[in-house]
Every structure is written in structure tokens, then in C-alpha cells.
Amino acid sequence: MTPLRQRMTHDMQLRNLSPETQRAYLHHVTGLARFYNTSPEHLDLEEIRQYQLYLLNDRHQSPEAVNQFVSGIKFLYLTTLEMPWTDEYFPRARRAHKLPIVLSQEEVMAFFDHVPTLRYRAALMVCYGAGLRVSEVVRLKVADIDSKRMVIRVEQGKGKKDRYAVLSPRLLKVLRVWWRTHRSAEWLFPAWRAGYHLNTSALQMACREATARAGITKRVSVHTLRHSFATHMLENGTDIRIIQVMLGHSRVETTAHYTAVSPQIVAGTCSPLDQLDSQVRKQRKPKR
């Protein structure tokens, strides 16, 4: 390990960045160094800019991937190397605004009917029934299920934040059936190897297989179940601030994106065209 890589790793650890973020940042910094065959500390802004254009135009990487590169490089130069540069020197690629894919309630039922095993069905039901991320589901421990208070404790979720999610009676029943068939002292969804929890890739594979078997043509991932949870909660009249807390969003604006997804909310909104005649009559009505 080079001194620069070690120093950057220590800086990320001091700022409590997640292991996934650390690996991603180091991956992008290594790619930059290999491209120029020199240490990144010897590069200037123009060379960084040319490499970013290379990622977009030659490698055809997505805006999300390029922006992750920008985040890693910013950390290297502004935090580790302490260069006197500002954010404007690190332009980000503009991402297309796309609405998240959401399953209807009928599609959710068909989906769960085709999940192959009880292990995967219980885990995927946590994603939809409580709105958890796939990484949060696989790391759940048996002690995180609080049946007395009917909540699920999410320990160190995204952003290193703890929170509580809803535990529905139906989900609790499914989890109890699963636990009785495969009792575990620690992980709620243990892997086949002792001491390890279920792998996120395995759960994603089970999700894709269930989608195909159910005949659902939408592009569904485990995260789609979380999107569906939030959208269906909104359609049922749940306060958006409550959904924000359960999803673990830092800003309510992030949760508000789901209002654009729900066709029921859109269809139930009154258009000003429908009120045009009544409003005009009200204004024309003579005052006594």
C-alpha cells in the first residue's frame, strides 16, 4: 500500500465513511493513477478533467458512476491532499430524472406467490412490509425484531443512522414461521456458512427469478419493493413525515418524490379545469 493510499484510507476511517464508500473511492483513485501511470498527487485539474471526459465519452459510463468518481477525487484532493480548490473545479454529470418503478398491490401479491423458498420470501417481505434496503435486511439480527413494541430496529443503516421501522402483524407471523424452521442465535437470515448473514446478491437473484415466474414485465429489483412500500403508504393516507422517518430519509424532499409516482394521488387531484365554471359563477355573483 502506497503512503498516499494509506493516508486516504485513514482519512475516510476518521470520517466514518462506510466500507462500501471507501472501496468505491479507492477504486476510482486507482483507475485515475493507472490511466496516467503516475501518482494522483502529481496531476493537475486539466488532467483530471480529461480523465472524466474519457469515462463519459470512451468508457460510456453512466452519470451515476462518473459522479461517484467525482466524489472520490474530491475527497482525495480536498481532504487528503488539502489542495486549495473548490467544488466548482469538480463538475458533476447531469443525471436524467427518472421515476422509480413501483409495483401495484396485485403485482406484489403475484410476486410473493412465486418467491421460491421461505427464507427468501421472509426476507423480501421485510423489504416491502417495512421499507428496508436490501443491505439492511440481510444484516438484521434476531434481537432487532421487537414483537412487544411491533417495531424493527435498523442498526447503522445508510448514513450510519439507527432507526425504527414498522413491524406489521402479518410480517411478524411470517418471520416467526421462518425462525421456527431455522433457529439462529444471531442473524435473522443466516447464510449457509456458519457465522455469516445472507448475501445481498442471493436475495437479488431470488427477486429476479420471482419476477420472471410471476410474469411481471417491469424491471424489478429488491429496491423496487422499498419504492412500492413508500408509494402504497402514501396512497393509504400515511403522513409523509412518518414515511420519511421509516425510510430513514434525511430530507422530506426525498420522500416527496413518491408523490409523483402514485397514480392514485395524481388521479385524485382536482384539476382547476373542473372548478372553472363554479369559480367564475362565484366571482360574477352580485354582492348584496
d(CA 70, CA 29): 10
Query: Residue 57, Cβ neighbours under 10 Å: how many?
Result: 9
- Total count of residues recorded for the chain: 288
- The question of whether 227 is a catalytic residue gets the answer no
- The question of whether 258 is a catalytic residue gets the answer yes
Active-site hit among 5, 74, 114, 158: 158
Cell, residue 90: 469538480
Active-site hit among 28, 121, 197, 226: 226
The backbone torsions φ and ψ at residue 157, rounded to the nearest 5 degrees and listed phi first, read: -75, -160
Query: Residue 108, Cβ neighbours under 10 Å: how many?
Result: 20
Active-site hit among 5, 92, 153, 223: 223
Active-site hit among 28, 121, 133, 163: 133
In angstroms, what CA-CA distances link 10 with 156, 158, 246?
A: 20, 21, 32
**What string of DSSP letters covers 100-116?**
PP---HHHHHHHHHT--
The backbone torsions φ and ψ at residue 265, rounded to the nearest 5 degrees and listed phi first, read: -65, -40
Helices (H) and strands (E) in the chain, counts: 14, 3
- The question of whether 249 is a catalytic residue gets the answer yes
CB 220 within 8 A of CB 101: yes
Catalytic residues: 133, 158, 223, 226, 249, 258
